[in-house]
Chain A
Amino acid sequence: MLQDEMRNLYQEVIFDHNRNPRNFHVMKNANRVVDGYNPLCGDRLTLYLSIDDDDMIKDASFQGEGCAISTASVSLMTEMIKGKTVEQAEQLFEQFHSITTSHDDEIKLEELGKLAVLAGVREYPSRVKCATLPWHTMNAAVKNDATSVTTE
C-alpha cells in the first residue's frame, strides 16, 4: 500500500494535522505578523503571534496554503509554542533545526515529543524546506527582526 510505503515521511499525525489544521485562522490582536514564503514551491504562510510583556507567547495562529508537510509542521508548531516563552520557542527552533539537518544517530527521537513526527523529512532533501519554513518564520517573529522570510 502506498500509505505504508510512505510511512517514514507521512505519519498519521501529519495526515491528521493536514486534514484538520489547528490554529488555522487570522488573529486580529496579534502583535507579531510574519509572512513565510518558499519560492521553490510557491508556498506561502502568514504566522500570527501574540506575545505579552513577559515574553510569553499567549497565542499563535496561521493562514496560508501549503503541502501536507508544511501544513502539519506549522499546525504542530503553533500548538507547541503556545504558552511557551520566547526563549523556549527559540530552543524549540534550534532543536527542530538539528532534527532536519543531522544524521539519525545524533538525535534521540523519544526526547523530541511531537517534533519527532517531522524527523522523516531528513530522508527527503527536496522536502526539508516544506517543514522548516514555518519554523524560520516563527524564529523571525519572536526575534521581531523581519516581516517576511523566505527559505532561500
Chain B
Amino acid sequence: MSSTANLSQPSTFDVQTLRNDFPILSQTVRGKPLVYLDNAATTQKPQCVIDAISEFYQNDYSNVHRGVHTLSEQATVAYENVRKKVQKHFNAVSEKEIIFVRGATEAINLVAQSYGGSYIKAGDEILISAMEHHSNIVPWQMLCKQSGATLKVIPINQQGELDQELFEKLLSPQTRLLALSHMSNALGTINPVKQMIAQAHQHGIPVLLDGAQAAPHMQVDVQDLDCDFYAASGHKLYAPTGIGILYGKQQLLEAMPPWQGGGDMIRRVTFEETEYAPLPYKFEAGTPSIVDTIGLGAALDYLNTIGLDAIASHEAELLAYCQQRAEEIPQLKPIGTASDKGAIFSFVLERVHPHDIGTAMDHLGIAIRAGHHCAMPVMDYYQVPATARASFGLYNTMEEVDVLIDGIKQVIEVFG
C-alpha cells in the first residue's frame, strides 16, 4: 500500500466520523469489508435519512394537500418544507419553480413532453451531446418521432470533453432546445455549462441541464448558471429512490401545459373543462411520493451540514489519488480524462473484460459498476463494449482507493 500521508484532509471534514452515519458501510461482502464505489449508480443513505422516513411513518404520515385533519396538515407542512429546502439548496427564485418528480429521468421526460410537445415542431432541431445518459437521449428521440424535429449531437474528443467549436456551429436558427449533461456518468466530465448556456441564450435557445450526477458533487446555483431547466435525482443525493427534482424557470413552467392529469393538479373539474392548479401543483398529478420527499429533506439537511464544497474537495482528492495510483498499472487505460472531472474513474484493462473485473472485484468486497453505464454512444466512441467504473462519494477513503488499486492488480494477475 502506498503512503497517503502527503494528502491531507480538510480539518472540518472527518470522513471516518461521516462513515459512521451510514450503517450499510460497516458490513462485509464475501468476508471482506465492503468498499462501496458505485455512487454514480446510487448512493447509500445516512441514518438520519432512514430515521426521517421511519419516524414520519410512525408519527406524521397522511396524504398531503387534501385533508383538514391534523395529520394531513402536518404532512402537508412537512412536504412543502422540503420544497423550500430544495429551492434554497439550488437557489431557485421561487418554490413554484421546484416540481417533485420520480427522478431525473422523469424530469427530462416531463420537459420533453410538455415543453417540447408544445414548442418543438417539424423542421426544428434539438441539440444534445455525445456523452449523454440514455435518459437524456431517448426522451428527445421520442419527441423527434412525434414532432418531426431532428436530433443533433455535439461531439466529444478523446479526453471526453465536448468540442466547443462544433457546439457553436451546431447552434442554428432551427435549434429549439439544448439538453446537456452537467456531469457525465460514464466519463466524469464536468461540462462548462455556464458558458454554454450563455452561448445558447445568445441564440435565444433554452437549456435543460441533466444534473443527476453533478448535484451530489457540487453546489448547484440555477440562477448563477442561468439554466432554464435542471433535473436531479434524490437517490444519488443520499436520499431515497422515487423522488427527483425538476427546476424550471417560472415563466416557462407557467406557459407549459400539464404533463399528466389527475388529482392535486386541478383547481376545478367539470366534464366540460378542467382548470389547472397553479405552479408547482400543475405538474404533480396524483399522490406524490410523500415519505421519499421527507427523506430528501433530511438528506439535504445532512449534505448542507457537511457542506457540498467540503464534499467536492474531499472527492477531488480521492479522484486525484486514484488517478495517480492507477498510473502504476500499465495495462489500465482510463476512459474520460477531461481537465474538469467529478469523482468518477472509468477504465478498461488489456485482456480483461469489464464484467470479469466487476465479478472479481466483488470477491474482494469492492462494489464497482461494469457495463455501458446507460451511455452506449460513449462506448461506441471509445470502441469498447463496456468499461469498469469506480465512482466516489462523500464517505469513501484514501484507504479504499488503495484497496481498489490493489484489487485491479490482483485481477490482472489472475486474468492477464
Contact = CB atoms under 8 A, between A and B. Distances in A.
A69 B385 contact: no
Contact of A44 (B353, B360, B385, B411): B385
Interface in B311-357: 352-356
Given A9-B359, A42-B379, A2 B371 contact: no
Given A3-B414, A67-B353, A130-B355, A42 B363 contact: no
A69 B355 CA distance: 9
A41 B360 contact: no
Chain B interface size range: 20 to 34
Interface string A39-63: 0111110000000000000000000
Contacts, number: 55
B367 to A, nearest CB: 12
A68 interface: yes
B355 A2 contact: no
A127 B385 contact: no
Chain A interface size range: 20 to 34
Contact of B363 (A5, A44, A68, A69): A5
A124 B414 CA distance: 19
A28 to B, nearest CB: 25
Nearest to B380: A42
Contacts of A42: 371-372, 376, 379, 385-386
A66 interface: yes
Interface in B45-85: none
A2 B363 contact: yes
Nearest to A43: B385
Contacts of B370: 41
Interface of A: 2-3, 5-6, 9-10, 15, 18, 40-44, 65-69, 124, 127, 130
14 contacts: A2-B414, A5-B363, A9-B359, A15-B414, A15-B415, A41-B354, A41-B370, A42-B372, A42-B376, A42-B379, A42-B385, A66-B353, A68-B352, A69-B355
